[in-house]
Amino acid sequence: MSKRAMLPLLALLCAALPALAADYAKREQDWRNGAVVYQVLPDRFAPAANLAAKKALYPAPKILRSWEDSPKRGSYDPVLKVDSHELEFWGGDLPSIRSRLDYVQDLGADVLYLNPVHLAWTNHKYDALDYQQISPEFGTRADLKALAEDLHRRGMRLVLDGVFNHMGRNAPRFQQALKDPNSPYRHWFVFGEQYPGGARSWWQFENLPELNLEFPTVRQYLYGAPDSVVRSYLKDGADGWRLDVAVDIGYQFLSELSKAAHDTKPGSLIVGEIANYPRDWFPAVDGVMNFTLREIILRTAERRMEAALAARMIERMVNEAGVENLLKSWIFLDNHDTARLHTALTDERQRRLAQVLQFTLPGSPNLYYGSELGMQGLVDPEQRGPMRWDWVGENNIHLQWTRQLIQMHKRLRALRVGDFRLATSDKLLAFERYTDHTRDTVLVLANPGYSTVTEAVMVANSNLMNTFALVDQLSGQKVPMRSGLVEVSLAPGAAMVLVPELSPGGGYSAYKRVP
């Protein structure tokens, strides 16, 4: 092609660049993209200052435990329809969470996500009695507003847990409907002799009767009306909702709920607990809890999945679900329903590799309180233990490592808002995060295998300069770029997060005329 013929093509490319740059700038302005999320169980995060005065809030059969106690699995009570450990409390509340926000902010979190705070009977509050009230063990709506205001002053956000697929068996609405076929709440639930306990319940847990979302009045109460649950808490200062078992709510009602939230507070976040493959759940929700990516990360770290297969799976998911949606989705390795990370992955190399992937793949890293300290726990309720504040300190290597990853994720623009593409590798999981600026480029290389891998990886980025080094953000090691190839040697379980060295010193840079 002649130089004259190339001019229109160059003009087209130049015209496209500002729009591309604008897209990345727009992503940066949206707090939901690539945010670091910190999850807290209100009862277990920090002990209340006035714990002795709160004892009356835990009448029998509830039990108030000492903060030093560890949760242990109890037995099922066929009368109460719950396990006994669901009625054991540790005394945390909203004011005590506020008292520890310095820690959450210093850790680097952008978002505080609270497990349910609405009025409910159990300690976990997934059995709502009344969504519009805060459980007295936790405080009041005024306490929640104060927490939101405090977070906003710090430049942080608040996401609440919405449990809208089911209520609790002890909810006055359900009890009235159960006993009276003529109750105005009869159509709020689905009754029938074929159901254990007489009503359709979530996975047949009798304490969790499902709401009949097909009944319009229920939808108005939850999200349709101006004073509905979803809308009113957003007006009180919440910035979004994580929706419990969102997969059970379904596409139509999730779409309606998301629209109601966005109409009430533009830019609010709706994240669905959706364990399915994420592709088709957008735009019914803004993001998902990315169970698929979690499975890939953990299987890869544990050497149950080859790097090449993991790479193909991740690439397909990114292509089909879309980066815009995945940036708002939460990448979690553990939470209140799973084994804690330090229990699931006891090999430190595997655990650290999984965490590097959590903070470098497209999405919002979601941390479960205390896992940054090395807290352990296998099954419910062991993984819901009270926060180990006595483990917080500069000598906690797990905490320092997590802080390093958080700071790296926040510092490197491409990790927060960048696009994704695979690098070409035979034995490593190798991928690139990139934006419109070459200086933002991040190349991630991970070796989940059993032996050291020495390999030349091709990076299909024409703006990365020959012979200029890439610098590992985890170790400081420099690796030269040779005509699009990066040769590295990675030990089993090792990872590198490489960024271009724009100038090796002396004022010269080969990057002076690339975007």
The residues annotated as belonging to the active site are: 244, 273
d(CA 252, CA 275) in angstroms, rounded, equals 18
d(CA 175, CA 130) in angstroms, rounded, equals 13
Partnered with residue 368 across adjacent β-strands are 39
206: nearest Cα among 161, 171, 244? 171
- The set of residues, in sequence order, having a beta carbon less than 8 Å from that of 6 and lying 6+ positions away, is none
Quote the Cα angle for 288-252-122, to 5°: 60
Number of H helices, E strands in the chain: 16, 22
- The set of residues, in sequence order, having a beta carbon less than 8 Å from that of 435 and lying 6+ positions away, is 24, 413, 414, 417, 418, 419, 441
d(CA 284, CA 257) in angstroms, rounded, equals 8
116: preceding bond cis by omega (within 30 degrees): no
The string of DSSP letters for 99-122 reads TTHHHHHHHT-SEEEEPP-EEESS
331: nearest Cα among 360, 290, 368, 278? 290
In this structure, which long-range contacts are made by residues 152-157, counting pairs with CB atoms below 8 Å and at least 24 apart in sequence?
A: 152/237, 154/101, 154/105, 155/110, 156/101, 156/104, 156/105, 156/109, 156/110, 156/111, 156/112, 157/31, 157/35, 157/110, 157/111, 157/112, 157/239, 157/240, 157/269
C-alpha distances out from residue 445 to 34, 108, 472, 497, Å: 20, 24, 10, 7
d(CA 163, CA 161) in angstroms, rounded, equals 6
DSSP state of 161: E
Whether 466 and 483 have beta carbons less than 8 Å apart is answered as yes
The string of DSSP letters for 342-395 reads HHH--SHHHHHHHHHHHHHSSSEEEEETTGGGT----STTGGGPPP-GGG-STT
d(CA 455, CA 423) in angstroms, rounded, equals 12
d(CA 58, CA 62) in angstroms, rounded, equals 5
- The set of residues, in sequence order, having a beta carbon less than 8 Å from that of 431 and lying 6+ positions away, is 311, 314, 361, 420, 421, 422, 423, 443, 444
> How many CB atoms neighbour CB 378 within 10 A?
12
